[in-house]
Amino acid sequence: MFAKKACFTILVMGAVLTLVAGGGPAQARPPAQKPDPPVETASTPDHPGGGPLGTWWSLISPLHVHQEPDEAHPAVAYNSQQQEYLVVWERGYYGSSLKDICGQRVSRNGALVGPCITIAPTGYDLRDPAVAYNSQTNEYLVVYAWDVAGGIYGMRVSGATGQPVGSEITIATEASYSFSNPAVACAAESGGYLVVFERWGTGSYYGIRSVRVYNNGTVAGTSLDIDPVSNVTQPRYPSVAYNSARSEMLVVWQRLVSGTYDLYGQRVHMLAGGGYHAEGSVIPILNFVKDLKNPAVAALPQPAGVGQYLVVGQYEFSPTDRDIYAQRVAGDGTLTGSYLTIVSSTEDQTMPAVANSTTAQEYLVVCKEGDSLASVRARSVSMGGILGPNTLLYAWYADHPAVAGGPAGDYLVTERDMFELYEILGWLWGNRVYLPLTLKRY
């Protein structure tokens, strides 16, 4: 059990509390009643783990003192050619339903590169951005939902300049259905991206659909339904990651089965030069006594020729006490070992996100912790399932954390928080000497 104390100055709140806990139990699922908290132990010496660089969050989005913009829903990707990150988010305005999609380049050392970028056309109600980087073209694809029209759209963004490339891409739109909650991953070697999203209609009919987008922004002529529209299983909240070892994606989502939400996955093979298809059958990944929701997934290309995924999800022990669990999945779709307890306490942990570090051969899982006063919790996981220190990144009113793996075991963790109004903040994580995020612009 972890207790937080209210802090009244940035100097006091700047302290980082690191808590180390043991791994999860060996049962096939959590018991209906929670066990006693695990005994705290030292971090595993053969696990690189890393930790927060610096002592406090730094501002990524523009500071709007007594002005209207309200930033939310950040997402982040790493550019291996420029050695920098692109953070994207939705920017709303008080008293208006309109939202823009904005972005900010951040160097590997935390400096803001250039000004804030308006990525998507303005004057619309655009929401829920996601972003992936393409190392073959040195471009990003930013995808988002248009709430009024109920469609999924995208923009290519130059990795060199951060500016939009070409015109807006229509990825999915249909008169009788709406679309929401997009996610995207890049299959650079195969040429293009896989965009996944919810497809839904009236009466709680939901489904998961995928669409391939090629490097030049062309959309494949045929979509691929990952889980068909149903008011019985109600599949929702997809996430996707690319395994370069097999030229495959793993799409994960939550599905209602016998009154409980479980987490499922489907491999998708990305054919070189075009085309894509479901590979194998649907994979049951996490199935507990109570609901599992809000899945996220990351992939490593090791072991060679096989690869591995880490799937994380939010276990609904009670409406005010949710925990984060994970499951490793081999590149061929078989589950590896038993589930992992990322964090389980009487605090409320929600909104998990996960990223990979190919160099360190590990993952970093982040989640929101708390309700009215919320922070971000972070924990590394090795390929072998060894858990690193359980670290709390104190914040004010943290919401929707996101993370991307950078160079040499580094990550950038982002979240939406109250700085003056609601802005996007970032914190570097890694194993090196701290170089702070700054407001310097190149």
Residue 265 lies in a domain: no
Q: When comparing pLDDT for 16 and 334, which is higher?
A: 334
- The domain in which residue 404 lies consists of 1-56+300-421+431-436
Name the domain count of the chain.
1
Residue 262 lies in a domain: no
Residue 308 lies in a domain: yes
Sheet of 387-393, strand order: 17-19, 387-393, 375-382, 362-369, 349-357
Q: pLDDT tens for residues 326-370?
A: 999 999 999 999 999 999 998 999 999 999 999 999 999 999 999
DSSP letter assigned to residue 259: T
Amino acid at 439: L
Residue 369 lies in a domain: yes
Residue 288 lies in a domain: no
Q: pTM for the complete prediction?
A: 0.87
How wide is the angle at C-alpha 370 spanned by C-alphas 364 and 373, nearest 5°? 120
| Lowest-confidence pick of 29-38, 172-181, 254-263, 353-362 | 29-38
Q: pLDDT tens for residues 176-197?
A: 899 999 999 999 888 999 999 9
| Residues 6 or more apart whose Cβ sits within 8 Å of residue 241 | 185, 249, 250, 297, 298, 299, 309, 356
Q: pLDDT tens for residues 396-424?
A: 899 999 999 999 899 999 999 876 678 89
Burial class of residue 205 (count of CB atoms within 10 Å of its CB; 0-12, 13-18, 19+): middle
Q: What are phi and psi of 64, to 5 degrees?
A: -110, 90
Residue 379 lies in a domain: yes
Residue 284 lies in a domain: no
Amino acid at 76: V
* Radius of gyration over every alpha carbon of the chain, rounded to an integer in angstroms: 20
What pLDDT, on the 0 to 100 scale, is given for residue 64? 60
Residue 358 lies in a domain: yes
Nearest to 391 by CA among 409, 412, 369, 411: 369
Could you tell me the CA-to-CA distances from 195 to 59, 165, 177, 201, 250 in Å, in that order? 29, 18, 17, 19, 12
